[in-house]
Structure 1
Amino acid sequence: MSFCQSVWEDVASLRRAILDHPFLIELADGTLAPESFRHYIVQDSLYLAEYARALALAAARAPTAAGRLEFSDGAKVAVQVEEALHQAFFTQFGVSAETAHCAEPSPECLAYTSYLTALAATRSYEELIAGILPCFWVYWEVGCHVKPRAAAPNPYAAWIDTYAAPAFGEATHRVCQLVDEAAAEATPSTLAAMARAFHHATRYEWMFWDSAYRRATWPI
């Protein structure tokens, strides 16, 4: 069993909790409160800006040309999604340019992006890409799970289609391959650190959707 298959099975309960979260159930039904989705897209825009930086740093540290190309392309796509998909949703859901510009990261968004930044700055390349992977893989699983269940018409159809698209699945597969290649050469201690990074990032994925559903803000 590959490293990626092993850690993916290890987080099966977390993945089930994500798929069963009311944010995604209601998104598929088309009944998700616009206020919750508005919170999500603003925070996701802030997240993607930092995620793009983490991908760029992974590209800079990658030992192979394939890794440099994949992660630099991923950083570019993250920026493009922020510019295209989010801007369309800002218009659809009434988020003004000023609101988006002045938005502050929620505690969960800041925690997640700070964790990825810490991996990029202080930990190994192997840990970093293991921490990057859940954002690809979890979203691909969510897209594939939600797509056949989605009500039609659905105000969130464009979001669903983005993450259920075969091209996104192909990108996820390529990142999995890079993580498995790194794991194949890793020491036992590095493998354990990679697994921890993957687990932590998967937890943050659940927390991100949960915070959007609750429209979480700073408590003080």
Structure 2
Amino acid sequence: MSFCDTIWEEVAPLRQSILAHPFLAELADGTLSPEAFRHYIVQDSLYLAEYARVLAIAAARAPTAAGRMEFSDGAKVAVQVEEVLHQAFFAQFGVTADMARTAEATPECLGYTSYLASLAATRSYEELIAGILPCFWVYWEVGCAIKPRASSPNPYGAWIDTYADPSFGAATDRVRALVDEAAANGTPATRAAMKTAFCNATRYEWMFWDSAHRCAGWPI
């Protein structure tokens, strides 16, 4: 198996915990509380702003033209999602411009973005893109798992459609190919570090949804 297929299988229990999480189950059947989704979408807006910066750094550090093109395009798409999808949800769920502007990142959001930023600043390109991949791959798996069983009409239908779209799956495949290429050219130590980055980022994906479901903020 490829490097990505191997680590994907190794995080299978975590992936199942994500797919079974009440936030996503309730989102699929349309019963997720507006408060929980509002919490999620505001935090995701803060996350995507930082994720776009990390993708831009990955593009700058990429050793190949394919990597530079893919990650620079990804940075642009992250900004577009924030501007188009999130703005529509802000209007739908009553998030004002002032609320969005003054929102503070939760510990989970700040932890995730700070972790990715630390990979970009202090670790190898290979580790960085391994840490970037779960945001693509986990969301693609979630979108594909939810869409066939989602209620209709569903207030969260646009979100589901975005991450179940074949174009998002194609982008995931391209990033996965870049990670596999980097792993194939790396040392055993590099691959071990890549696995750690991938696993940590996948853990943050679960934590992000869990904190949104609880509408959690800073404990003190």
Q: What TM bracket, shorter-length normalisation?
A: over 0.9
**Residue 114 (structure 1) aligns with:** 114
**Residue 105 (structure 1) aligns with:** 105
TM-score (norm 2): 1.00
How does 1:58-73 map onto structure 2 within 5 Å?
58-73=58-73
Q: Distance in 2 between matches of 1:124 and 1:101?
A: 33
User: How far has the Cα of 1:19 moved from its partner?
Assistant: 0.2
Counterpart of 1:27 in 2: which secondary structure? helix
User: How far has the Cα of 1:181 moved from its partner?
Assistant: 0.4
**Residue 12 (structure 2) aligns with:** 12
User: How far has the Cα of 1:206 moved from its partner?
Assistant: 0.1
**Residue 159 (structure 2) aligns with:** 159
Q: How many residues align?
A: 220
Q: Distance in 1 between matches of 2:115 and 2:133?
A: 13
- Residues 138-161 of structure 1: CA deviation (Å, up to 9, x unaligned): 000000000001000000000000
Q: Which runs of 4+ in 1 moved over 2 A?
A: none
Counterpart of 2:155 in 1: which secondary structure? coil
Letter of the 1:160 counterpart: I
TM-score (norm 1): 1.00
**Residue 217 (structure 2) aligns with:** 217
Letter of the 1:55 counterpart: L
Instruction: Structure 1: state its 5+ residue gaps.
Output: none
Q: Distance in 2 between matches of 1:149 and 1:216?
A: 28
How does 1:113-132 map onto structure 2 within 5 Å?
113-132=113-132
Counterpart of 2:217 in 1: which secondary structure? coil
Q: Distance in 1 between matches of 2:106 and 2:214?
A: 11
- Residues 91-142 of structure 1: CA deviation (Å, up to 9, x unaligned): 0000000000000000000000000000000000000000000000000000
**Residue 81 (structure 1) aligns with:** 81
Taking only aligned residues, the RMSD between alpha carbons, in angstroms, comes to 0.2
**Residue 184 (structure 2) aligns with:** 184
Percent of aligned pairs with the same amino acid: 78
